Amino acid sequence: MKLGVLLFEGFELLDVFGPLEMLGQIEELSIELVSVKKGAVMSAQGPSAVAEQTLSSNACYDIILVPGGTGTRTAINSSEVIKWIAERGCNARYTASVCTGSALLAKAGLLKGKKATTNKLAFSWVCSQAKDTQWIARARWVQDANVFSSAGVSAGIDMSLALIEEIWGDQRARQVADWAEYQWNSNPDHDVFAAKHGL
């Protein structure tokens, strides 16, 4: 299987590399970082990641992962980014977003009629991108058919383990979490942050 991870200027570091720490343990899965152009893409925190593939390539992916970050406010107005998400998402077996990446999925039409969640601090802004999505405030992550969306930043790690469980089984997901010495919150409804932010 092949995973395509979208990068854009201002992406959130943990939104990308938290899930990749988990998904990278799956030997059957190859991973490509994708952006408007090849080369360094600066994160919201400053360090850059290197995109190996461009959005204009004809590469197909079994899974696509869309992170959030301050850069989503710009990326959401990029026709090239939204087109890539829409086209690759329609053809992928699974589509996943972390944090405000769900706003990009919504803009691309992939959340129409579906349940989804996002970062609690940006909940109102993300919800405004799609009135036809059932936004779940109290959720660590949400799975609706083949679309996974997570709450803010670190929640993407829990979601990625749920995605591993969906494809490769519970035992594999727990092995990956144990290898990383990560205590997996495997209950998607266990969300302490919604109440903290008045949702």
Q: What are the residue ranges spanned by the domains of the chain?
A: 2-196
| Global model pTM greater than 0.95 | yes
pLDDT at 60: 93
- Mean per-residue pLDDT for 79-101? 97
What average pLDDT is seen over the chain? 97
| Secondary structure in 3-state letters for the chain | CEEEEECCCCECHHHHHHHHHHHCCCCCCEEEEEECCCEEEEECCCCEEEECEECCCCCCCCEEEECCCCCHHHHCCCHHHHHHHHHHHHHCCEEEECCCHHHHHHHCCCCCCCEECCCHHHHHHHHCCCCCCEECCCCCEEEECCEEEECCCCHHHHHHHHHHHHHHCHHHHHHHHHHCCCCCCCCCCCCCHHHHCCC
pLDDT, tens digit, for every residue of 29-41? Answer: 999 999 999 999 9
d(C-alpha 120, C-alpha 109), whole Å: 21
pLDDT at 153: 95
The model's confidence at residue 13, banded by pLDDT at 50, 70 and 90, is very high
pLDDT at 34: 98
pLDDT, tens digit, for every residue of 107-161? Answer: 999 999 999 999 999 999 999 999 899 999 999 999 999 999 999 999 999 999 9
Superfamily of domain 2-196: Class I glutamine amidotransferase (GATase) domain (3.40.50.880)
pLDDT at 44: 98
The model's confidence at residue 43, banded by pLDDT at 50, 70 and 90, is very high
Residue recorded with tokens 């405000």: 100
d(C-alpha 35, C-alpha 11), whole Å: 11
